[in-house]
Amino acid sequence: MNILVTTILTVQMLSALGMIGLILVQHGKGADMGAAFGSGGSGSLFGASGSANFLSRTTAVFATVFFVCTLALAYFGNLRPASSGSVLEGAAAVAPAAAPAAVAPAVAASGAAQIPSK
C-alpha cells in the first residue's frame, strides 16, 4: 500500500512541476494581438496559433492527472483497517465505571468523606 501511495505522490509532483513549467512558458491573451499585426511572435516553433493549442492541451492533461492523483491520495489517506490502533477508538470502547452522582453517596456512606475535627 505504501508503494502505491508513493507512486501516486510522485506522479502528482511531476504533473505539478509540468503544469508550472507549461504555464510559465505560455503567453498571455494580450500577446495574440501583437502576432495578428505582424509582431515577431508569429514566427515561433509551433506557428502562429499552434503553440497555444499544444501548450493549453498539454496543460489540461497535466491538470487532469494532478486532480486524479489528488483524489486517489485523499481516498487512500482515509482508508483505515478495522483495528488501526487509534487512541480515540479505544477510548470509545471503554464504558465509564460509574456515574459521578452514584459515587458520592457510596463515599459518604463509607465514612471516607468525613473530615476529622480538631
Percent of the chain past pLDDT 70, that is, above it, reads 48
**Domain segments of the chain: what residues?**
12-27+46-80
Whole-model pTM: value is 0.55
pLDDT at position 32 is: 58
Radius of gyration of the chain (CA): 33
C-alpha cell at 17: 512541476
- Whether residue 65 is predicted with pLDDT greater than 90 in this model: the reply is yes
Over the range 4-17, which residues count as b (16 or more CB within 10 Å of their CB) and which as e? eeeebeeebeebbe
Mean pLDDT of the chain: 75
